[in-house]
Chain A
């Protein structure tokens, strides 16, 4: 997930819980306020979701566009994200950065993020500014008037974002490789940040065409949560958003199917600035809409959330072979990728750590998890979700992702039941089904100094590929 501004990245928790009442075996009941929301679709196809919450005199406004990096034009990887930045530049009635004048300058804030499936713009402002922001969102949905100097300057910002996220931190390029190498056919194989070369190739003409293609009311969902009067909201929506016409041309949709993996693939990547070697395993899993999404989330939680998780206990605490060990279910609309990334403890060999990690995966396949572990994971997931819902913006994110990514806003109130229904047998079943040798990609991420030592015979060295960091560095240097 890439965002316009550096700051706290909001965790987009998709396909999670919350109901009016929550209860689990052997634990006390907790009631969670139901998120009562209104839903309607305007004649131009725009969906509007809203929920009133007067606990703070602020309001969160979000516009979800159902376009992400999987929709990047050919040869323009990173474009959907670059475009997100451009949406803060000039529009018909707003100068560049006027969105900041309407939010930050009155004590609010704004930001946006792009992931493979969606682009989301959000503002939190004192509630008396709601109408102002609806006007502003309407204006940038209606058209952009950004000029060449502003476009180029913002493109340089995105290139610096690339360097800051992927080149400066020691394991940035490993994350890039996980994204890039996990898919072979589906456009998910293009990392959301793109590449310096493709960003350099992007033009103002691309901006105009992208806006025309994807930024249209029938591809947008407005979410408003906080301190407002529903009747007033309806009137303002009618005034500012309903008049935007729906284009006649159809919306293009990605329909590429990622083929099933048929054999294990292994990559060894040597990079500069690798303080300790790292390994990653990735497995293809189904869409976030699949009923297997919840068991996979529970599995990831049991494996890697907290110091009582299986990977922490085994790799970090008991065997002391890892500096960190993560498991991420990375749920997506078309197909998901469940990945493990492990930074090795000093003096450890990647082959040995891979063996320990595979043994932990096998344990999840060979026997059901205990009821205590299952309940712990559910409690952790519920608490994470409660934290997200402490703020209006967090509630709006939960509502928007239910509507846009899961196809049903009511999932915001029914997902807890789905989570509660997950059994130890479900977890064992998904672990057995997806975590097979044939469905495995293994990445060894090693320091350049290790290159002289021959590694295992099965590896193909991807150092010569287009996106090797050395090459990016050179090209990066030419930017602006």
Chain B
């Protein structure tokens, strides 16, 4: 069944003001022709007897299929002292099952031309394969094998532990990564979203085999999972594959654990944190605060408000890159999750401009709340939201990711068809109201990772409360962010 997906609507009013006063035909852009529309395939679904929800989006064309198995929990359920458990487990399931070794799994999937991906997000864990349509059967068989029958061999755990530690070592050499980890602690403190999703060197070292076993039996179960197929595959054959490889996946007798109610995030007040990394070739500058949860009725207001700030012609990039040449790119992210997620605006700049960039970021966040966005600016930003959305659905992988996300948060698939209308209905007052109620600059924190000697003096004059942490003293295990034995003044 096909549903009309009125893409043509995104041909919004175009601000071609200089064009109107043209003298020669060649001096002005020709106007657009009438917009066209497109059909978007509607997902079909059914739930197997064991509780597994199976969703199919049939779109012939390029002979590719993506199959994704979603576990409806992710880093949010990692115990605080074992941060990174869910993410490491997602990797570990691909390292050996009752019938295949790690090498056999990789060889078999890659022989099909595809690859197996598996990683935890905050509220879900996603494992999938992306293959030519003729190879989807054997690919799904391997996917089911790793999800259902991982062996968690000690040898593989130790190997993966060492790799994860090395990966963290490399990641913590990058100013941008450090800044994002620090920002999460600044916003969420010791609550789950404050932990690094991939763990810390200390938490990764603590994880034991029994922790994996416990986590796997608690969360990897058919009534806590969703299987999504997208691309060049018919619903009938996809359902048959689901039944064949997941139909006998037993639902445990004990009921699915219920998630604890989200604790209200109470931050003591905005912080200004500098991580001094003298060898940083550039400073990463972030301003960060809480945003909204995915199911918040203000979701579309938030999307549009963020788009006014972010994107190539968004205000942040206009002010920081286009007008001043201070960065290769500035933008923001309203990361909506099961619970209230973060809002982060960021740019990388030479160390000497760190304060200037922080103030520009904060200034633009503030302006969104204090002044109305003119329609001539707002309408193109709405077109950006709609255009990005439509393009994400062009590939099988993009289509599956979108549908899986809706399924994780229990949102009706009709939202896909209402998406454009929802975006279009947002007006300047909505944006300002959203910004003043959810993105207040006064309660927004600043995080800078860079060579502090190039900007600290200036920064301290403006923000005397600044906390300066030497890179080697940084501790991502706590909201204090500082190793205890080395705690400075």
> In the complex, how many angstroms separate the beta carbon of A412 from the nearest chain B beta carbon?
15
In the A-B complex, the 5 residue pairs with the closest CB atoms: A167-B281, A107-B387, A156-B325, A379-B113, A105-B380
**Known A-B contacts A153-B324, A275-B173; A5 and B312 likewise in contact (beta carbons under 8 Å):** yes
Query: Is A32 within 8 A of B63, CB to CB?
Result: yes
Cβ of B426 under 8 Å from chain A: no
Cβ of B61 under 8 Å from chain A: yes
Which one, A152, A308, A386, contacts B106 given CB within 8 A?
Answer: A308
Query: Is A390 within 8 A of B7, CB to CB?
Result: no
**Known A-B contacts A129-B32, A163-B350; A101 and B14 likewise in contact (beta carbons under 8 Å):** yes
Known pairs A106-B383, A127-B36, A153-B325. 19 more at Cβ < 8 A? A32-B63, A55-B61, A57-B7, A104-B384, A106-B32, A107-B10, A108-B387, A126-B36, A131-B33, A135-B26, A156-B325, A168-B175, A273-B173, A275-B169, A276-B170, A306-B110, A313-B103, A320-B159, A387-B130
Query: Is A376 within 8 A of B110, CB to CB?
Result: yes
Query: Is B31 within 8 A of A308, CB to CB?
Result: no
Which residue numbers of B lie inside 8 Å of A, CB to CB?
7-8, 10-12, 14-16, 18, 22, 26-38, 61-64, 102-103, 106-107, 109-115, 130-135, 159, 162-163, 165-167, 169-170, 172-176, 277, 279-282, 284, 311-313, 321-329, 348-352, 380, 383-384, 386-387, 390-391, 394-396, 454
Query: Is A480 within 8 A of B131, CB to CB?
Result: no
For the complex, give the distance between the alpha carbons of A92 and B395 in Å: 37
**Known A-B contacts A127-B36, A170-B170, A477-B350; A30 and B63 likewise in contact (beta carbons under 8 Å):** yes
Query: B112 contacts which chain A residues (CB < 8 A)?
Result: 379
Query: A155 contacts which chain B residues (CB < 8 A)?
Result: 325
Which one, B14, B28, B172, B350, contacts A479 given CB within 8 A?
Answer: B350
Query: B328 contacts which chain A residues (CB < 8 A)?
Result: 6, 157, 160-161, 163-165
Question: Which of B11, B312, B329, B390 has the most CB atoms of chain A within a 10 A radius of its CB?
Answer: B312
Query: Is A391 within 8 A of B395, CB to CB?
Result: yes
Q: Mark A94-111, 1 if CB is under 8 A from B, else 0.
A: 010110111011111100
**Known A-B contacts A57-B8, A131-B30, A132-B32; A386 and B64 likewise in contact (beta carbons under 8 Å):** yes
Which one, B37, B62, B321, B329, contacts A389 given CB within 8 A?
Answer: B62
Query: Is B159 within 8 A of A317, CB to CB?
Result: yes
For the complex, give the distance between the alpha carbons of A345 and B161 in Å: 12
Cβ of A206 under 8 Å from chain B: no
- Chain A interface: which size bin? 35 or more
Query: Is B28 within 8 A of A93, CB to CB?
Result: yes
> In the complex, how many angstroms separate the beta carbon of A418 from the nearest chain B beta carbon?
18
Cβ of A462 under 8 Å from chain B: no
> In the complex, how many angstroms separate the beta carbon of A143 from the nearest chain B beta carbon?
12
The residue in chain B whose Cβ has the minimal distance to the Cβ of A380 is B113
> In the complex, how many angstroms separate the beta carbon of B101 from the nearest chain A beta carbon?
10
Query: A376 contacts which chain B residues (CB < 8 A)?
Result: 107, 110-111, 113
Query: B132 contacts which chain A residues (CB < 8 A)?
Result: 30, 379, 382-383, 386
Query: Is A275 within 8 A of B134, CB to CB?
Result: no
For the complex, give the distance between the alpha carbons of A126 and B311 in Å: 18
Query: B22 contacts which chain A residues (CB < 8 A)?
Result: 93
Query: Is B391 within 8 A of A124, CB to CB?
Result: yes
Query: A479 contacts which chain B residues (CB < 8 A)?
Result: 350
Query: Is B163 within 8 A of A323, CB to CB?
Result: yes
For the complex, give the distance between the alpha carbons of A391 and B29 in Å: 26
For the complex, give the distance between the alpha carbons of A32 and B323 in Å: 46
Query: B113 contacts which chain A residues (CB < 8 A)?
Result: 376, 379-380, 382-383
**Known A-B contacts A28-B134, A126-B8, A387-B64; A168 and B33 likewise in contact (beta carbons under 8 Å):** no
Query: Is B325 within 8 A of A273, CB to CB?
Result: no
For the complex, give the distance between the alpha carbons of A169 and B279 in Å: 11
The residue in chain A whose Cβ has the minimal distance to the Cβ of B454 is A477
Query: B280 contacts which chain A residues (CB < 8 A)?
Result: 168, 273
Q: Mark A151-195, 1 if CB is under 8 A from B, else 0.
A: 011111101110111111110100000000000000000000000
Query: Is A126 within 8 A of B32, CB to CB?
Result: yes
Query: A107 contacts which chain B residues (CB < 8 A)?
Result: 10-12, 383-384, 386-387, 390
Query: Is A272 within 8 A of B279, CB to CB?
Result: yes
**Known A-B contacts A126-B35, A163-B281, A168-B281; A100 and B313 likewise in contact (beta carbons under 8 Å):** yes
A-B contact pairs, 9 of them (CB 8 A): A58-B391, A104-B387, A106-B10, A106-B12, A157-B321, A160-B282, A160-B348, A163-B350, A386-B64
> In the complex, how many angstroms separate the beta carbon of B18 from the nearest chain A beta carbon?
6
Query: Is B325 within 8 A of A106, CB to CB?
Result: no
Query: B61 contacts which chain A residues (CB < 8 A)?
Result: 55, 390
Q: Mark A307-326, 1 if CB is under 8 A from B, else 0.
A: 11100110011001001000
> In the complex, how many angstroms separate the beta carbon of B218 from the nearest chain A beta carbon?
27
**Known A-B contacts A57-B8, A128-B35; A135 and B349 likewise in contact (beta carbons under 8 Å):** no
Query: Is B380 within 8 A of A104, CB to CB?
Result: yes
Query: Is A56 within 8 A of B7, CB to CB?
Result: yes
